[in-house]
A and B are shown apart, each in its own frame.
Chain A
Amino acid sequence: MRVSYKTIGNYMFKKENILTKVKVGNWTEAIRVAGGLLESSGSITSKYTDAMISAVKEMGPYMVILPHFALAHAAPSKEVLKDDFALITLEEPVLFGVPNDPVYIILALCAKDGKSHMDSLAKIAKVLMEENTIQEIIDAKTPQEILDITEKHLL
């Protein structure tokens, strides 16, 4: 049976929190779409999505941490209702103005505090740092394929 979610530490990586081949015009739109998934899941308020965008503007685009991959997040706050994350891939990449451009994948993360999600994120980071994972995610056509990739690498 194919899974519709994957548990990663205290996170539940759900199919509803994944979108593939999204069409956006720029990086702010991309973060809005990813944040929108977290809002629909009841994990954050829209203020948190705004904060993720301000964070890139204020702190600099170092959040584009791997080639083609941006980790969008803001500080833990009361705008976070539960720990969660969402992932989107883009039909056409967006630019943040960094060496790791162009960006095809946005992982949006929200955490109620600074510590609880660290083990889970470490697991995700490990998968992402494996060679080929990023390309596999970019090439995935459906959310199910992304879950299958995650499943394969976490086993």
Chain B
Amino acid sequence: MDKIKIQTVCGFGCGSSLFLRMKIEEVLKENNIKADVFCGDVGTCLSQPCDAIFISKDLYSRIEGRAKVTVVPIENFMDKNEVATKTMDFFNGINKE
């Protein structure tokens, strides 16, 4: 299987999404999961190839129902518990398929 690609999305793809990317990378490292995490912006995220989009809850409605991949809304980018739970739920979901 190819490496899973996760896109973290904020308004412009160059600020908050970086914080979220780092948080997810932390979780992946702790769980010994290899995946690519990269930043994107809400305007272009749907056209970037990836396996999942992690996006702030504020921006979720802008892409809801239009994405071909799993979209995970995140309330608080820096809440380790939330990010860890949602990241692991996503990976556990893939493994079941």
Contact = CB atoms under 8 A, between A and B. Distances in A.
Contact of B14 (A60, A65, A118): A118
B73 to A, nearest CB: 11
Chain B CB within 10 Å — which of A59, A66, A115, A118 has the most? A59
Given A71-B15, A114-B14, A62 B22 contact: no
Interface stretch (B27-35, B55-63, B84-92): B55-63
B12 A62 contact: no
Contact of B18 (A55, A62, A118): A118
Chain B CB within 10 Å — which of A55, A60, A66 has the most? A60
A117 B14 contact: yes
Contact of B12 (A60, A99, A114): A114
Chain A CB within 10 Å — which of B13, B59, B78 has the most? B78
Interface residues of A, number: 27
A87 interface: no
A71 B17 CA distance: 11
Contacts of B41: 75, 114
A72 to B, nearest CB: 9
B19 to A, nearest CB: 5
B89 to A, nearest CB: 21
Contacts of A58: 11
9 contacts: A60-B59, A65-B77, A66-B19, A71-B16, A73-B12, A115-B14, A125-B18, A126-B22, A129-B19
